[in-house]
Structure 1
């Protein structure tokens, strides 16, 4: 499938004669291509390649450079991310490089696969001969170019600015690039590569460090921090601090100056709609709707109640008619008559009649009549349960079954009455106790208040002690803050453990015959006895504590109850309440990150790279030259030239000058200058160099490559002064 690109294709390729060289600035970040003698490159794009598959057809698509994200949603990019042909600053993936050159020549306007123009292409300092040989082989055999020349991008930028008087013939060219940073000394206008120096830190690492810091600081906005956006934020907000430690302390203390240096990136945010209070008409309308709904529910409930009453009345009339018929039937014919009705005895019909009558009175809303009927039924228990005192041998099987049911009903009724009587007695006892307490309080209010406070304190400590023992807290037992299992068990549990231990040791070390004899099982009876008197203690204590607390709140206005610490409160934390998102939640603040990220250019150890920084590299480069000429060293430091994308950081010139001054003797001339355009000056310098008529003498042809081979490329070196 063809390339996908938004870059406009050039149409004047055929207007240039074959002698016009093509200039390529093959950077690790951006690829720039154009014609020699021009001031601007024709085509610029990211030096990356993606090969995703189309979601519908499954066809592989080649995407070179940054493309429109709206197009990428039709492709599956999960298995093919952006890939670069570079390893640090050396080209090593020539399959990817071929895709990039195909795209570059196509956008330049070349219609065929053959390129009839000589090419000047940039490379890194001291490029390995293998990479240079493979690049020459690719250009000669794939595209058929007549001649190729290799040059260093930083050297072209230095020569271009030297012609404009920005730097001198002797100087140091510092190029902080995308993946690496180079320092190249220039003597008499020519680079001296034996004095060059390289550090594996560049703009990529600055962007990656900023992306990681922002992702850690704002993890809920991580999807916003794309590589392209973080790159733009880096170039817009980052700067080099004159004194890193002083700047960090400034932000650590805060204050007005730190606030002024903080930048804000506002993410898209839509405020939630404000709910206006409903009008009086709306409130009246909703009230009318609720009233209609309530009326409908009341009507439904009334209809259901009427239907229930009618049903119970019909059932009551049927039972009364059945009892009248039974009264007219002879005694010996009653079982045969009842077999057709589904009832066992006349008493069962009467009991059912009483239940239906009670349900009917309850449905009609007559609780007093129901209570009187219940009391009357309780008084006539003997009449309700006539089969209880009759022996089983005098009853039929159906009557025996009815007798068991009557015994169960009578037992349940008596138990309910006993519980009711017990509650009445407890209420009387509680009332009597409250009267005694009130009498004591009236006799001596101050003494009574002190006694209640003392009692509250003792009960509170006792209850909390029990809770701590249950949750393995409280007193220490020689361990790290906990208690042993024996201290957590109550006396009943400890007695059970003692019985088990004793039984186990009594068996000895021989054969385990426990359970073979009947008396062995008496142990389980001892263990299952309900002797857990200690378990009822905490409940009684807590009830007493609640009573004392309520009493103190009544008589002492200054009393504040202690907080109750339960096991659930001690082990679980409070669930945070959700709050609506505000505009501040969608703000990305750049404070210390503004100077912390580019600081790795001077201190690579901040990201784990044990190499020299920019200021140290200048001293290393001067020492590698091996010249003992102090005047030459002064000329080099008096023309320190900065080029490359990272030289655009504000404050880098002043910081580099201060660092070099710390390395040089006192009074040494130091001057740091920046390129006219640090990003495009390398291509412009190469374009001006290729436009010179002597450029053809610096190239090597395809015939030279086939005749002399790779070893000749090892000795090839471009001369920058023509």
Structure 2
């Protein structure tokens, strides 16, 4: 990230601890049989008396937990689970997706609701109206009825579809007359999204449709995208945090493909991002005094000098040894003409060579190594002003004692090193003279024809840039292949690693018994590391890149049409600008930057899954196709009545730009002259409960509710057809 850049950063809010809310007073409802309204959602449980203006609410999750200090079992509900970290692992909800299965958790949730409503009687002597899912299984309704009638002894129980009741609350006639509104209800729930047509105030459930995509799946999808984008994120991203990001930063795209084309511009992608700052702890840095820093610097400098001396000594010893080996091989090759073929073959075998070609190859390779070593040594140190003397070299061995022989051997090695450095220096001087001659020739050419010189250098720059890009692309391809353990690159790498332990020059039996490891005896052995590290640049590639930089420096100095924007580094940064905008890189040690999540494309990609579930791997039609399928089952007259009031409700319907996106989806599939009106519930979260409360205050509740006597006679599967339930009078059972 560039310094001074203005960032749109939002800090992740801290979740407050739940507050203890005392139960309500029951005196106002005692012995009055005020209807109870329970919205049994998969995320939240909303409950209250029908005469209340707003319900009580809590997360619909239960956990049985044993407190460690007192060793007492606790039953926690809703937000109370967040206060006990050990209870989170035991938490469960009554719902599994869109199906009510965990009735123990439902019973605990209802206990919580009745206690907080202040009900202190042995039974719940109030009619109950309760929500259920669209097309809810009969066995779920039967078990819920059994729980309500057997455990709580409620006098009557009615079921309704929450989205229909939200529609009822927003379209209730005033003054109260029979409910006859038309509309198309699009309900965004936690685990699904449903489309329910209503004509003459009755839900046509036989024509209703549902897709298996809701807020829960969208949250999981966003979490997977974040984990894929930040695989090494230092902090664990929870589902609750991802849900908060979905609610606050995501929005629907009116035209998703057009938006993606627009976001291909790195500047627009960067402008669209929202940054979430997670909590972080700065590392404690121990401050040192100036004296301590000076001592540390001096100690490092001394250690560096010692290492340089050791390295120089080691290089000299290796150079002298290679000189000696080369002299030995050269003298060996001179004996080839003097010996017979049989004796020469025996000599080669004794020296470890198979034939003459192997000997010549070893000499050639050793000469090449010596040339590079001499050049490196000459670059690293100056030559002596006066040549050293070696007086014992020409003295016969017979005239020397034991100490003299040792000194003569030492002087012979020193002379070999001196002569090697002299040859390297002369080679370096020759190369410098050639380079100066080339520079003079190039300067003359530049003065004579600047345009032609610049054109030639531009072509060379383009060729070298292309070679550099090829290496970068090859490196990217190899890195991608290595992530797949079944790819050819990964298998070849593992094979090379396995070969490190299988040196054929030592018999298997000897290796097993601890025989000598011969790996490294040959310089070719070390090529195995280049095969393993396939992404490392070779020496030739490094030289090419250095030559490319030299060419760029010349063009920048003499060609006015060549600017910094034309350099390889600038072009490379432009190619990676989109990736940098998608996921900016922070400097090493920037703890604050490393704990940021940049949301850009994900802000529109996750909501788009409501219209294209296949994007998230869900085999289902999108919301637009489902609405089109539902409308196709009605006549044009009925269709016109439905689309005049397309009603969206549910928590996820609050995501921005939903209404314009629905309008852009539905308008092309309707006749141009057909009016289309899309509205959102006044309160998408609580209007379902308020609609149930509105209905519970009418006399119609007694007609649609199943009494305890009817339950005892007909069982839990007993239902009554009515306009707000899963079954209505227009649909046969």
TM bucket normalised to smaller: 0.5 to 0.7
Q: Is 1:717 the counterpart of 2:722 in the alignment?
A: yes
Q: Which whole-Å CA distance do the structure 2 matches of 1:684 and 1:663 have between them? A: 34
Q: CA deviation at 1:681?
A: 0.2
Deviations 1:502-553 (CA, angstroms, capped at 9, x unpaired): xxxxxxxxxxxxxxxxxxxxxxxxxxxxxx9xx99x89xx9xxxxxxxxxxx
SS at match of 1:8: coil
Q: Which whole-Å CA distance do the structure 1 matches of 2:46 and 2:432 have between them? A: 97
- The correspondence of residues 235-634 of structure 1 with structure 2, limited to 5 A, is 235-255=247-267, 257-271=268-282, 278=289, 417-428=404-415, 571=532, 579-624=588-633, 627-628=634-635, 630-634=636-640
Counterparts in 2 of 1:656 and 1:416: CA distance versus 1, 3 Å: farther
- Contact preservation (8 Å) 2:273, 2:600: yes
Which residue pairs with 1:552 in the alignment?
A: none
Q: Which whole-Å CA distance do the structure 1 matches of 2:707 and 2:98 have between them? A: 25
Q: Is 1:35 the counterpart of 2:49 in the alignment?
A: yes
Q: CA deviation at 1:63?
A: 1.8
Q: Which whole-Å CA distance do the structure 1 matches of 2:190 and 2:624 have between them? A: 18
TM-score (norm 1): 0.59
- Provide the aligned C-alpha RMSD in A: 4.2
Q: Which whole-Å CA distance do the structure 2 matches of 1:620 and 1:437 have between them? A: 85
- Contact preservation (8 Å) 2:98, 2:191: yes
Q: CA deviation at 1:268?
A: 2.7
Q: CA deviation at 1:693?
A: 3.2
SS at match of 2:74: coil
- Contact preservation (8 Å) 2:37, 2:49: yes
Deviations 1:110-149 (CA, angstroms, capped at 9, x unpaired): 2244111111111112322221111111101100111111
- Contact preservation (8 Å) 1:21, 1:35: yes
Which residue pairs with 1:134 in the alignment?
A: 143
- Contact preservation (8 Å) 2:203, 2:723: no
Q: CA deviation at 1:58?
A: 5.1
Q: Is 1:646 the counterpart of 2:652 in the alignment?
A: yes
Counterparts in 2 of 1:222 and 1:268: CA distance versus 1, 3 Å: closer
Counterparts in 2 of 1:96 and 1:605: CA distance versus 1, 3 Å: same
Deviations 1:295-338 (CA, angstroms, capped at 9, x unpaired): xxxxxxxxxxxxxxxxxxxxxxxxxxxxxxxxxxxxxxxxxxxx
Counterparts in 2 of 1:606 and 1:691: CA distance versus 1, 3 Å: same
Worse-superposed segment, 424-433 or 214-223: 424-433
Aligned residue among 681, 684, 690 for 1:678: 684
Which residue pairs with 2:366 in the alignment?
A: none
Q: How many residues align?
A: 480
Q: Which whole-Å CA distance do the structure 2 matches of 1:694 and 1:235 have between them? A: 37
List alignment gaps of at least 5 residues for structure 2.
1-16, 300-399, 436-490, 494-498, 508-517, 537-585, 729-733
Which residue pairs with 1:12 in the alignment?
A: 25
Which residue pairs with 1:231 in the alignment?
A: 243
Q: Is 1:687 the counterpart of 2:699 in the alignment?
A: no
TM-score (norm 2): 0.58
- The correspondence of residues 72-111 of structure 1 with structure 2, limited to 5 A, is 72-73=84-85, 75=86, 77-78=88-89, 80=90, 82-111=91-120
- Contact preservation (8 Å) 2:24, 2:116: no
Aligned residue among 67, 75, 83 for 2:80: 67
Deviations 1:444-478 (CA, angstroms, capped at 9, x unpaired): 9799989xxxxxxxxxxxxxxxxxxxxxxxxxxxx
Aligned residue among 706, 711, 721 for 2:712: 706
Deviations 1:151-183 (CA, angstroms, capped at 9, x unpaired): 111111001101279x98111001010001111
Worse-superposed segment, 640-649 or 704-713: 704-713
Q: Which whole-Å CA distance do the structure 2 matches of 1:204 and 1:434 have between them? A: 74
Q: CA deviation at 1:621?
A: 1.6
Which residue pairs with 1:503 in the alignment?
A: none
Deviations 1:381-427 (CA, angstroms, capped at 9, x unpaired): xxxxxxxxxxxxxxxxxxxxxxxxxxxxxxxx976653322122344
